[in-house]
Amino acid sequence: MSLLDQCRHCDTPLSAEEQTSRLCDECSYFAADYQRYDALREEGYMPYQAKLICGLADPPDPDDE
């Protein structure tokens, strides 16, 4: 199975029609965030940085240090 067959957020296998957005039904809520993420990646942001900006990743916990 290729990466394109899985939801980019939770790795759930996608149906044919879900493959357009690369997000499963449950994660289609994040579609706008991922569009922004893709735009940031094109601007040269690192994946983690771009996810932080879009709220797709948790910021580092200050208590971890």
Query: Where does this chain bind Zn ion (CB under 5 A)?
Result: 7, 9-10, 12, 24, 27
d(CA 39, CA 10): 20
Residue 12 CB, nearest distance to Zn ion (Å)? Answer: 5
Please, which residues have CB within 8 angstroms of residue 28's CB and are 6 or more apart in sequence?
18, 21
Please, which residues have CB within 8 angstroms of residue 25's CB and are 6 or more apart in sequence?
18
- Whose Cβ is closer to Zn ion: residue 10's or residue 46's? 10
- Whose Cβ is closer to Zn ion: residue 3's or residue 65's? 3
Residue 28 CB, nearest distance to Zn ion (Å)? Answer: 8
- Whose Cβ is closer to Zn ion: residue 9's or residue 51's? 9
